[in-house]
């Protein structure tokens, strides 16, 4: 029977084509392929008894792998429609019992989360760190979209997307960041295939390699977070205009060679927040220009009055 979509759901799918590339900067090669899987999944163009779609996202930390999953899940299903597992917490065989129960009558963490979330995304972060028995469970989910808990209950994940992330090759790729995109992707994909089990790749719709972020994308990400912070402050009665030096300063403070753009949001909240707090405490100034101030070897942001 053909699945009938309501107009709201159809519009949400269309909107993702614009939303995802705006939210996940510098990874258009990956977001295009993510959107392809999502469209088929949301329109019911998948075989029964399988997840809506499956992804393996590879590449350095802080390049948008996990964020892309969070963005599309929230847009399509709501902010609480994600079940997220950090596989570094499931490195022993005993951890299998945590997931699906260890004795009769227990459904484990997955059972409890499946009751909470009717449909959405199951996200398995750093899949390479999982114990082999836990990885067996992941393979079962990717293939049949269902598992059985210790209580005998069958958990159905056919209304879910299943996304796996891995940092395999993430450190090495930084030394290859000036190579062609094809070279980067080939290197990371090959390393992942040598590290992960071959049967994993046979069950994945899209294996995606996220690229290191060039400087212009770092600036664009800083601008996005800064705009968000300034909108928040404006809602609190602050009218602030950033100087041209502010974005390069925030990139220096918020981008890390190994962590990518992950520290950016926190750095912006800290430095902008400190500048505003200092201005309020010193002269009750709620308006002005945000500038980079240098005191010896120390750089910080300062809010100064607009010129009259």
pLDDT digit string, tens, across residues 272-304: 999 999 998 987 777 899 999 998 889 999 999
Give the percent of the chain with pLDDT over 90: 66
Is residue 285 within 8 Å of residue 279, measured between CB atoms?
A: yes
pLDDT band at 8 (very low <50, low <70, confident <90, very high): low
Give the percent of the chain with pLDDT over 70: 94
Q: Say yes or no: 92 and 145 in one domain.
A: yes
Q: Is residue 6 pLDDT above 60, yes or no?
A: no
- At 132-185, the pLDDT tens digits run 899 999 999 999 999 999 999 999 999 999 999 998 877 677 666 667 778 878
Domain limits for position 56: 7-209
How many structural domains does the chain have?
2
Q: Say yes or no: 192 and 46 in one domain.
A: yes
Q: Is 124 a member of any domain? A: yes
Q: Say yes or no: 191 and 263 in one domain.
A: no
Please say which residue of 209, 234, 251 terminates a domain: 209
Q: Say yes or no: 243 and 187 in one domain.
A: no
Q: Say yes or no: 204 and 240 in one domain.
A: no
How far is the C-alpha of 193 from the C-alpha of 202, rounded, in Å? 11
Work out the average pLDDT over 66-94. Answer: 94
**What's the CATH number where 298 sits?**
1.10.8.60
Q: In DSSP terms, which residues pair with 57 in a beta bridge?
A: 165, 208
Quote the pLDDT of residue 2. 43
How far is the C-alpha of 239 from the C-alpha of 279, rounded, in Å? 13
Taking the model in full, what pTM does it have? 0.87
How far is the C-alpha of 163 from the C-alpha of 33, rounded, in Å? 13
Q: Say yes or no: 70 and 180 in one domain.
A: yes
How far is the C-alpha of 199 from the C-alpha of 193, rounded, in Å? 10
């Amino acid at each position: 029977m053909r699945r009938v979509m309501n107009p709201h759901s159809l519009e949400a799918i269309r909107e993702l084509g614009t939303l995802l590339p705006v939210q996940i900067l510098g990874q258009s090669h990956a977001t295009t392929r993510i959107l392809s899987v999502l469209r088929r999944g949301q329109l019911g163009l998948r075989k029964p008894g399988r997840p809506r779609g499956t992804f393996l996202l590879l590449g350095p930390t802080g390049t948008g792998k996990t964020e892309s999953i969070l963005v599309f899940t929230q847009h399509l299903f709501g902010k609480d429609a994600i079940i997220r597992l950090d596989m570094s917490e499931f490195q022993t065989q005993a951890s299998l019992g945590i997931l699906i129960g260890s004795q009769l009558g227990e459904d484990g963490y997955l059972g409890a989360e499946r009751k909470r979330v009717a449909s959405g995304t199951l996200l398995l972060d750093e899949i390479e760190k999982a114990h082999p028995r836990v990885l067996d469970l992941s393979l079962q989910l990717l293939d049949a979209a269902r598992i059985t808990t210790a209580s005998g209950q069958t958990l159905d994940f056919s209304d879910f997307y299943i996304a796996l992330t891995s940092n395999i090759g993430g450190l090495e790729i930084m030394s290859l960041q000036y190579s062609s995109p094809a070279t980067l992707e080939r290197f990371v994909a090959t390393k992942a295939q040598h590290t992960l089990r071959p049967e994993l790749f046979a069950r994945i719709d899209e294996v995606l390699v996220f690229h290191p972020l060039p400087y212009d994308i770092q600036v664009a990400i800083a601008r996005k977070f800064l705009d968000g912070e300034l909108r928040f402050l404006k809602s609190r009665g602050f009218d602030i205009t950033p100087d041209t030096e502010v974005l390069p300063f925030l990139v220096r403070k918020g981008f890390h060679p190994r962590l990518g753009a992950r520290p950016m949001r926190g750095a912006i909240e800290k430095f902008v927040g400190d500048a505003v707090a200092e201005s309020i405490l010193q002269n009750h100034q709620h308006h002005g220009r945000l500038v980079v101030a240098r005191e010896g070897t120390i750089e910080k942001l300062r809010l100064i009055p607009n010129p009259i």
